[in-house]
């Protein structure tokens, strides 16, 4: 593990401030969801203010896809309340769904259709549709409109799914692992473009991922899904500023990690006690190190390190 921060490959774009009276884009209270006896979401609460970009982070199987599908009415819920734009989400369809774009994890619909025909067909269902944007993205992302969807690679399909989701100019864009099939270079260019498009007043983006570099690029708020609940939602910069990795090293080693205020996790690795500490009090750590005859290092963990520790 390294204490160096990952350099941000592109300058973060600041979110425009939401209108003070705007309801949250999403408000979830007490959401329960089980598959047979397996409870995936457990009294989950989550609020996403309008105008934010939020990365939903969680391990494989944590329930990210399930949560996103429940939010959009694509999977029935067992209990709880979901409000979208300040009104209850009851079922998919209707006026409000015109304001929501969704990019599923896999896109395998209409394999026989050509890209152009598919987009024309889809446009007919929407009140708003931005043909100039569609043309620009098709060119930039090198999608051949004459190709059949079934003949596209996974990455190309994902791009098409995103074009289709953004073209109606949605106020809320929900993406389930949007760039999982793209190579790192394409991911970087793509996230930059996507976020530039959606960084507009009142536009909200929620995307699930376990690729932490994508969250760094997006300078997103991070929501961590674990044990069926959203454990926290915090701006990435705040997480970075507050969470420190504290390493205490001494030759005789440790039987157990010392007690440190704000420690969220601790472990002993040979001569080292390694702790993840929220808002560490630096003077107290120096005193502790002196008393224990230990060498003290305080590091800023990378987001990936944080994810490994917390998720
Ligand atoms: N249709 C289903 N029937 C039964 N179990 C399901 C179904 N869909 C999901 N699950 C279970 O719910 C849990 C959460 O799955 P989900 O796909 O939501 O996780 P995830 O966080 O999106 O995972 P990943 O990062 O691997 O995509 C898993 O244990 C999965 O097996």
CA angle 65, 67, 68 (to 5 degrees): 65
Tell me the C-alpha to C-alpha distance, in Å, between residue 132 and each of 6, 167, 168, 169.
Answer: 36, 9, 11, 12
Strands (E), 60-181: 79-84, 87-88, 100-103, 172-176
pLDDT of residue 20: 59
Q: Kindly give the number of the ligand 1 atom that is closest to the alpha carbon of 105.
A: 27
Q: Whose CA is nearest to atom 10 of ligand 1?
A: 35
Element of type H or E holding 197: helix 184-198
- Same domain? For 97 and 181 the reply is yes
pTM of the model: 0.84
Q: Which residues pair with 175 in a beta bridge?
A: 103, 207
Mean pLDDT of 33-49: 95
35 Cβ closer than 6 Å to some ligand 1 atom: yes
- Residue 21 within any structural domain of the chain: no
Q: Whose CA is nearest to atom 8 of ligand 1?
A: 66
Q: Compute, in angstroms, the gap from residue 176 CA to the centroid of ligand 1.
A: 12
- Residue 8 within any structural domain of the chain: no
- Same domain? For 273 and 300 the reply is yes
Question: What domain range is 83 assigned to?
Answer: 26-227
Element of type H or E holding 267: strand 263-269
Q: Compute, in angstroms, the gap from residue 62 CA to the centroid of ligand 1.
A: 7
Q: Kindly give the number of the ligand 1 atom that is closest to the alpha carbon of 176.
A: 22
Tell me the CATH number at 271: 3.30.70
Mean pLDDT of 167-179: 89
66 Cβ closer than 6 Å to some ligand 1 atom: yes
Q: Compute, in angstroms, the gap from residue 40 CA to the centroid of ligand 1.
A: 8
Bigger pLDDT: 18 vs 292 = 292
> What are the pLDDT digits (tens) for 57-86?
998 899 999 999 999 888 999 999 999 988
Tell me the C-alpha to C-alpha distance, in Å, between residue 209 and each of 103, 177, 181, 292.
Answer: 13, 5, 12, 41
Q: Compute, in angstroms, the gap from residue 155 CA to the centroid of ligand 1.
A: 22
Bigger pLDDT: 181 vs 45 = 45
pLDDT of residue 217: 72
Give the chain's mean pLDDT: 86
CB-count burial class (<10 Å; 0-12, 13-18, 19+) for 20:
exposed
The structural domain count of the chain equals 2
Query: Looking at the predicted structure, is the pLDDT value of residue 92 above 90?
Result: no
The number of beta carbons lying within 10 Å of the beta carbon of residue 309 is 17
Q: Compute, in angstroms, the gap from residue 142 CA to the centroid of ligand 1.
A: 32
Q: Compute, in angstroms, the gap from residue 61 CA to the centroid of ligand 1.
A: 5
- Same domain? For 46 and 182 the reply is yes
Q: How far is residue 68's CA from residue 102's CA, in Å, rounded to a whole number?
A: 9
- Same domain? For 244 and 223 the reply is no
- Residue 1 within any structural domain of the chain: no
Q: Which residues pair with 273 in a beta bridge?
A: 248, 268
Which has the minimum average pLDDT: 78-82, 180-184, 232-236, 249-253? Answer: 180-184
Q: In the chain, what percentage of residues exceed pLDDT 90?
A: 54
- Same domain? For 86 and 221 the reply is yes
Q: Of the candidates 204, 227, 250, which is a domain's last residue?
A: 227
Query: Which of 267, 271, 279 is CA-nearest to residue 295?
Result: 271
pLDDT of residue 11: 37
- Same domain? For 82 and 181 the reply is yes
**Could you tell me the maximum CA-CA distance found in the chain, to the nearest angstrom?**
72
Tell me if residue 250 falls in helix, strand or coil: coil
Q: Which of 41, 44, 58, 61 maximizes ligand 1 atoms within 8 Å of its Cβ, making it the mutation to test the pocket? A: 61
Q: Compute, in angstroms, the gap from residue 66 CA to the centroid of ligand 1.
A: 6
> In sequence order, what DSSP letters do the residues of 6-18 get, joined into one string?
PPPSSPPPPPPPP
- Residue 17 within any structural domain of the chain: no
- Same domain? For 209 and 299 the reply is no
Mean pLDDT of 168-188: 83
Residues 6+ apart with CB under 8 A from 75: 33, 66, 69
Q: Of the candidates 202, 227, 252, which is a domain's last residue?
A: 227
- Same domain? For 268 and 217 the reply is no
- Residue 15 within any structural domain of the chain: no
Q: Are 146 and 115 in contact (CB under 8 A)?
A: yes
- Same domain? For 55 and 158 the reply is yes
Tell me if residue 57 falls in helix, strand or coil: strand
104 Cβ closer than 6 Å to some ligand 1 atom: no
Which has the minimum average pLDDT: 122-131, 213-222, 267-276? Answer: 213-222
Q: Kindly give the number of the ligand 1 atom that is closest to the alpha carbon of 177.
A: 27
Query: Looking at the predicted structure, is the pLDDT value of residue 254 above 90?
Result: yes
Q: Whose CA is nearest to atom 2 of ligand 1?
A: 35
Tell me the CATH number at 59: 3.40.50.300
Q: Kindly give the number of the ligand 1 atom that is closest to the alpha carbon of 225.
A: 21
- Same domain? For 54 and 179 the reply is yes
Q: Compute, in angstroms, the gap from residue 200 CA to the centroid of ligand 1.
A: 32
**Residue 160 has which token pair?**
């098409």
Q: How far is residue 77's CA from residue 34's CA, in Å, rounded to a whole number?
A: 8
Q: Of the candidates 169, 196, 227, which is a domain's last residue?
A: 227
- Residue 119 within any structural domain of the chain: yes
- Residue 12 within any structural domain of the chain: no
- Residue 10 within any structural domain of the chain: no
């Amino acid at each position: 593990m390294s204490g160096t921060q990952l350099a941000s490959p592109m300058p973060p774009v600041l979110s425009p401030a939401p209108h003070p009276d705007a309801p949250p884009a999403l408000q979830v209270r007490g959401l329960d969801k089980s598959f047979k006896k397996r409870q995936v979401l457990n009294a989950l609460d989550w609020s996403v203010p309008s105008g934010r970009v939020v990365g939903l982070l969680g391990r494989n199987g944590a329930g990210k896809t399930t949560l996103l599908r429940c939010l959009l009415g694509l999977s029935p819920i067992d209990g709880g309340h979901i409000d979208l734009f300040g009104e209850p989400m009851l079922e998919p369809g209707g006026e409000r769904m015109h304001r929501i774009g969704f990019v599923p994890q896999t896109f395998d619909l209409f394999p026989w259709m050509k890209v152009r025909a598919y987009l024309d067909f889809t446009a007919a269902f929407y009140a708003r549709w931005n043909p100039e944007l569609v043309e620009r993205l098709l060119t930039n992302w090198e999608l051949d409109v004459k190709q059949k969807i079934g003949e596209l690679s996974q990455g190309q399909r994902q791009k098409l799914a995103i074009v289709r989701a953004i073209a109606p100019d949605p106020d809320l864009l929900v993406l389930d692992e949007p760039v999982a099939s793209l190579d790192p270079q394409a991911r970087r260019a793509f996230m930059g473009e996507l976020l530039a498009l959606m960084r507009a007043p009142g536009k909200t983006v929620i995307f699930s991922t376990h690729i932490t570099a994508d969250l760094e690029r997006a300078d997103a708020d991070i929501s961590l899904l674990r044990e069926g609940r959203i454990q926290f939602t915090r701006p990435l910069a705040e997480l970075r500023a507050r969470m420190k990795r504290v390493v205490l090293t001494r030759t005789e080693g440790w039987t157990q990690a010392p007690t440190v205020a704000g420690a969220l996790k601790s472990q002993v690795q040979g001569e080292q006690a390694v702790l993840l500490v929220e808002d560490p009090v630096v003077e107290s750590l120096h005193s502790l190190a002196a008393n224990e005859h230990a060498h003290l290092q305080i590091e800023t963990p990378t987001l990936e390190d944080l994810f490994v520790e917390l998720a």
